[in-house]
A and B are shown apart, each in its own frame.
Chain A
């Protein structure tokens, strides 16, 4: 039965000159497993998002998408949520709530499923996916692979008929990725769920798929069974053939047999059969060159543990690297690879042993986004970046925002930043994670250019294929020490399990063959020439600038002070002893509750909820960034910016929630409600400020609100809590004792606003534009 039908579907982003998708015709049968692949920017994500109305990008769409015969736009939101499951790329950011059980229940809550049924469905989903052992844990304690599994399970709890996954394994290490894909495969096989998966890790995905779709610049380059697609790609000499599984690549380059082998097992059978008639010639495999020269990295008997009572992570590690090498340190999870890197970078010093680094060391972090500052790549790199940018092949991207680059481009931008620090030694932490085959090749070329200039590269990686193909030497780190270290062919050919797919397939016949190219050469095939770099960078469109109107709830704003004044008048008159405290508490309720309820009743859209949460979390966690300046806390400044940018209702909410959550982490007290009042009030007032307020005026506002409003509420409150009849003298004493703290608070808030208010408002504006851009469906 045909489930999904695309009839000459075309799509263009607003203001773009070219179509992101051009005339796509596709039918997906029920229970099918379709893998969509193509180079970065080929339109994979756009295609998948168009299949889910809620996520469809804004722009011009032609043609039709039919779900079991009906146009997909006619699907109600409820049906769409239940029938089409969508898993996004980054597991950390698509998780909405704080605990595993709540994340699993989230979608069911949205559909309004009754609690008892949610309990049942969450339970069965959790036990199917093997999530039970960590069912009650906080998301933050999980590994990347576990998080992505939670995302999958939370989508599957809705029992969708179609499951769409957009590069779900890009951020995972190979083992977690394999586990994740096999879970997807099980869903497809055992439950007949239709799967549409976009992937660059084809080695694992293709054996699971019925059909493969290759996109190229928005058009279908190949569509069919894995075997057919391999044939087409080889015929066209298409760059995507590099991404095919190793056995298939070898098969198509040698081109003998009936059907292409997809797994190393089939590959081995096929190769043995092939070798009977065409004995392979091992002498055609190129020789490794053993690197020589000056040693620039030496680690001798290095022992390290993080805590005094902790376990040793490195146990006598020895390492020697020569100048100009590309040295790959491989090993499983928890072998101590990242620790070794921090030691070599000098970020930690070993307890025993000696590390000697000859030259300036720079480290490329695993998550390159940790380096990004500035609004354009040029700003990020600094003025004299042209030469380095050309070297890293990002010369044409300098005017873009770093976050508008694709994953591989971001990696290269970060590398450029590192090169500006003129390193002699470059340490890279998992640089190929999330890169497609093409980007990997290009990245390796850049690294080779650097080596030619005398830079030494040491990389820590899970990616054995990359290490085998490009490294000058590989070393295995296991249990805190380097066990074997030699040139790639010598290194991998001695291994049986921890080795490349090509070696697993051909190792018995050709011991020295570790890459697909080795096997192809030995079998007398032709190694395909390296593909040309993509001609033009993807067309990018400037998002439409749209103003979002904020409807201020002026009724609330007017009523609240009146109500408060009335309470003061009546409370002080009629309440008995402790009337001041009681009156104060009442006012507190009157001021905050209506705003909370207004927020509740308005049913704010997802993007607003997330913005509020992010700002609150920034206000609380921001102090982490200022650990070097312990008196400085950014909370108040963030609240003011929130009120200014989002309006008084959200400002008030951000203020009050920030206090609630911050005290949840750092200690509740009788002062919590008063702090909520103070920060809520400040957030509310900043919502009333003119939108185009200058930076200086904002700083003055920040200074005064810290001193007058925050101090003015909390100092008397501390007296009210304990005293029945507070005298003026007591209150003044409280002000006096709090003055030094209030002054620091006021000055730091003003300082924050001086440095941050404009960039932060700019960032919020950018985010709002993006969400508006994406929510203009149809």
Chain B
């Protein structure tokens, strides 16, 4: 997704995250999860470390919810621990896991420049604020380090007591705040000097919407429409587990597969092209 115009990437991630949150059929959830995990893998992100947390969420769900007919055993409180609740817990875990994985990919793909491009289209001033904050943060971190170093240079010994550490942290933050606000005036001057505040401001981005972006966007919307509109995959969790499959459902699942694996397919294709 990283190669497309930011708007395409945004539409794509919005679609998959929306679907991952709202679909409840286990097959669809699995498709989404695998799509996200593989994509994260191509982006060199490690997502499997979350697995234990989500497994725990699955196992704990029946402790809070006792719906369902198939009792596995009784909890010390006397409430039943049911199979249906356990399966439902699995569904919850899958939803969370796939959503989080997609968000991680989103984070990696949507660089500051891309978010700025999107923001400045709808709200140029907010776009500018965003870009400015991104400029300030590394500056502030650097200054914080410099302040800590300077305080050490006053010949003070290291002190492990919480109270002293707190006092010094407060001093550091205070120094940083004064510095930041005092110099903000210069930034405002520099903006005014270059004509900020004139009517009719334009917002420049380096991205251009090409034919390829149109095609990708069409693909995203077509597959999204297909899996939202087709009916035929049903799954019931309570009171007993029931499912049914109709031909339309298979079509929907296939298009959802295409949607979720689109970035993986693209990167495989890319690798093959390089190898040839």
Contacts and interface: CB of A to CB of B under 8 A. Distances in A.
B213 interface: no
Contacts of B193: 52, 54-55, 81, 85-86, 88, 155
Interface string B108-150: 0000110110000001111011111111111111111111111
B216 interface: no
Contacts of A724: 24
Query: Counting chain B CB atoms within 10 Å of each CB, which of A342, A347, A361, A600 scores highest?
Result: A600
A342 B123 CA distance: 46
Contact of B21 (A54, A109, A581): A581
Interface string B72-116: 000000000000000000001101100110011011000011011
A632 B197 CA distance: 38
A705 interface: no
Interface residues of B, number: 94
B179 interface: yes
A549 B135 CA distance: 29
B235 to A, nearest CB: 12
Contacts of B112: 98-99, 664
A85 B134 CA distance: 25
A90 B150 CA distance: 20
B246 to A, nearest CB: 19
Contacts of B179: 369-370, 372
B165 A760 contact: no
B192 A625 contact: no
Contact of A729 (B64, B142, B144): B64
A92 B133 contact: no
A628 B168 CA distance: 9
B17 interface: yes
A669 B95 CA distance: 13
Interface string B171-210: 1111111111111111111111111111111111110000
Nearest to A764: B181
Interface string A596-616: 110110011111011111101
Question: Which DSSP category, helix, strand, loop or mixed, fits chain B's interface?
Answer: helix
A421 B24 contact: no
A interface bracket (residues with beta carbon within 8 Å of B): 35 or more
Nearest to A110: B195
Contacts of B141: 621, 624
B197 to A, nearest CB: 6
Contacts of A620: 133, 137, 140
Interface string A340-370: 0010010100000000000011111101011
Query: Counting chain B CB atoms within 10 Å of each CB, which of A54, A90, A606, A759 scores highest?
Result: A606
Interface stretch (B4-12, B152-160, B222-230, B265-273): B152-160
Query: Counting chain B CB atoms within 10 Å of each CB, which of A345, A670, A722 scores highest?
Result: A722
Query: Counting chain B CB atoms within 10 Å of each CB, which of A158, A624, A663, A670 scores highest?
Result: A624
A559 interface: no
Contact of B190 (A96, A363, A364): A96
Given A624-B140, A661-B134, A727-B65, A609 B191 contact: yes
A66 to B, nearest CB: 20
A756 B174 contact: yes
A106 interface: yes
Contacts of B192: 54-55, 606
A618 interface: yes
A431 to B, nearest CB: 13
A496 to B, nearest CB: 36
Nearest to B145: A624
A265 interface: no
A150 to B, nearest CB: 12
A115 B124 CA distance: 13
A70 interface: no
A667 interface: yes
Contact of B174 (A119, A611, A759): A759
Contacts of B168: 628
Contact of B175 (A77, A364, A372, A417): A372
A669 B53 CA distance: 15
Contact of A101 (B139, B174, B206): B206
Contacts of A95: 135, 187, 190
Interface of B: 17, 21-22, 24, 64-65, 92-93, 95-96, 99-100, 103-104, 106-107, 112-113, 115-116, 123-126, 128-155, 162, 165-166, 168-206
The 3 closest A-B pairs by CB, nearest first: A81-B195, A363-B153, A617-B136
Interface of A: 52, 54-55, 77-78, 80-82, 85-86, 88-90, 92-99, 101-102, 105-115, 118-119, 122, 138-140, 151, 154-155, 158, 342, 345, 347, 360-365, 367, 369-373, 403, 417-418, 421, 423, 427, 577-578, 581-582, 596-597, 599-600, 603-607, 609-614, 616-618, 620-622, 624-626, 628-629, 632, 634, 653, 657, 660-661, 663-665, 667-670, 672, 721-724, 727, 729-730, 733, 755-756, 759-760, 763-764, 766-767, 770-771, 774
